[in-house]
A and B are shown apart, each in its own frame.
Chain A
């Protein structure tokens, strides 16, 4: 049964893990410096250690605010706080578990009529204000230290990255430890009265009852980290302000330091030993502190990067959290106390419930005494309901029928108990039906929202698919266009090549013509000087006519531009020689045998012969054209 009552605390622990782990590792995960899996493992281990080793200090202060003495009350208070945190987490608002639990405890104080210790309350609220301010101050100091260090050290950017990653893990571990130490009070503080008294011996160490309780709470926080914290990490990591990895270290470290300051008994004692007032050990809001740290950094950089809209949302959450938790706690306590008849406080539980039962009984007694025509006793009528059932009072009434009356009241009592049991049965049945109806309603709503969400996802997916299709079409079109352009370019180059070849041939022909003209002039003249000059000119032309260089350059051009063609030719006809491949290129460019002959410095007849051999080698039939085969390759 105790475990059932603890379930609300565990739920609160889960909510805390889901929400507040983001404060420690949100920036690191948001900046992709640390993977979520690694962050979750480290956070879980150190939260549990912090809770078990150092969780007692803050719990003590929370106990002073309102000592929830009955486990039913603790269950309700924790449940109210947990529901508040859960809803706010669902809406992605970084909510404070500390504020939720304090609001819920004050709700309990109001319900039970116990006074709230305003000194403790003001101490807690002052730390809520001090927490973010201290966070901002720490962040600014740490920023300067870090800035100066990196300026002096001149570390390679990649090494810096590695150091920062490592530091983020260390700081995250410290932050998780502090979170566990400071915030376990929120989760399990109200259940301390239900802690077992015996020690749990692990051989190397022993765990007290309270520590066992904190271990359980720590595990619940760890489950919350693993199952739900990734969503909130997005908001903290990137929502309020774009954080660099260096800033992430600063914010997490300052946050961890603040939590440590407000949870460390050793530090508080040390401060006290210096003659200073002790540090109040209070569960501070982890969310408030991290926002304070980020704000401190943001303000230091001129405040341009701060997203004030999100900041406003977070502020609204801070005000709303204790209020919602308090109101919810009050009504939940009323419901649990009066409907389930579960005591929510050791001070007033018995009287509350007994009063209500006795009130019912007195009405039944009055009704039954009338029906049985038994004289009504004034004193009985006048007395309080409590006194009516007091047997000693009944016995002291002076009446001749006192013995009978006693018997009668005994019977009446049994009868009224039976009747009460019947009423209780009917009521419980109705309550069960109501709860079932409520659950069915909630499930149907949940299914409905799930259906709507799925529908939305489907429609979004189909939209994405359509967009992808359109994109693919555009890409295909673009590819086709690119291919066309490349084809045009190739054609242009080929045309250029043909022109170049033709120019070469023409130049050759022209020089040949010049040479023949010189020969003619030489025959017509006898002047030895002119003949000598003509001979020199002839030699010059012959030297210039040497086509080898041009040919080489041209062939290089041909090879360079027809790489693909050569590759294809090689793959289809691997036996072709280099000259045959070049012939294929010339033929592909639609050159005549005469032109090819001029280019390759062989006779047109040899070109024809080579063409014939090529046809044979390529196994081309009589009805096929060699040029077309090459062009279609």
Chain B
């Protein structure tokens, strides 16, 4: 009776983490397609991300209900649900960002393409690193530290890259209008948000690791 419910919730958590992971990959590819002006694949990825985000929302709601209804790990349930909500925020932010690309169509100069691409990669790497950290929390809490320090590292790297990019936009790209510069700055911030969300999740994970430690 206990184990049946548990197995189902474990499956849901795994599926949720897979969905988030896929969402990050789709976002990363979507940005690259945009930079390469590949509209077909870009809109295809946007559609995919919409679907993945909706799926993640449905699963997280189901997991939340299971946790509270069957009072699973009652001492940490609130923290675990909060952690999953923060992970859901990552895919929400990714979807929102790709949608902004679609709507606002930022005019990114070709010489900044590589910087934007790198920034996206590093920011997504922070989000990607949080997934194995969460998995290790469920399976082997003592190994959380091995994974979570990567999240903090990539988040800091993202900040550094974003600052460099902003400096390049405002100082080195004199041919750009101020409005265009401001527009590009917003997109830098949007990409940075992904790693920020990952860092938020990692913080909750750190707190949980301390709480569950015997």
Contacts and interface: CB of A to CB of B under 8 A. Distances in A.
Interface in B1-46: 2-3, 5-6, 9-10, 13
Contact of A151 (B9, B71, B142): B142
Interface string A138-174: 0000010001000100101111011001100000000
B210 interface: no
Contacts of A143: 214
B75 A245 contact: yes
19 contacts: A31-B75, A143-B214, A156-B10, A157-B73, A157-B137, A158-B6, A158-B9, A158-B10, A158-B73, A158-B138, A159-B10, A162-B2, A162-B3, A166-B2, A244-B75, A245-B75, A553-B105, A556-B103, A560-B103
Q: Most chain-A CB neighbours within 10 Å: which of B73, B103, B212?
A: B73
Nearest to A300: B214
B65 to A, nearest CB: 15
B109 interface: no
Interface string A552-585: 0100110010000000000000000000000000
Contacts of B142: 151
Contacts of A388: none
A455 interface: no
Nearest to A159: B6
Nearest to A35: B71
B81 interface: no
A246 interface: yes
Contacts of A166: 2
A161 B105 contact: no
A32 B71 contact: yes
A275 to B, nearest CB: 39
A51 interface: no
A33 interface: yes
Contact of A161 (B6, B103, B139, B214): B6
Given A156-B138, A247-B214, 19 more contacts: A32-B74, A32-B75, A33-B74, A154-B140, A156-B10, A156-B139, A157-B138, A157-B141, A157-B212, A158-B13, A159-B6, A166-B2, A244-B75, A244-B212, A244-B214, A245-B73, A245-B74, A245-B75, A557-B103
Contacts of B6: 158-159, 161-162
- What band does the interface of chain B fall in when counting residues whose beta carbon is under 8 Å from A? 20 to 34
B145 to A, nearest CB: 15
Interface of B: 2-3, 5-6, 9-10, 13, 71-75, 103, 105, 137-142, 212, 214
Contacts of B71: 32
Contacts of A161: 6, 72-73
Q: Is the interface of A mostly helix, strand, loop or mixed?
A: helix
Query: Lowest 7 CB-CB distances: which A-B pairs, in order?
Result: A32-B74, A162-B2, A162-B6, A161-B73, A157-B138, A154-B140, A158-B6
A172 B18 CA distance: 39
A266 to B, nearest CB: 32
Interface string A603-627: 0000000000000000000000000
Contacts of A556: 103
A9 B137 CA distance: 52
A162 B3 CA distance: 6
Nearest to B141: A157
Interface string A466-481: 0000000000000000
A39 B157 CA distance: 52
B138 A31 contact: no
Nearest to B140: A154
Q: Most chain-B CB neighbours within 10 Å: which of A31, A32, A560?
A: A32
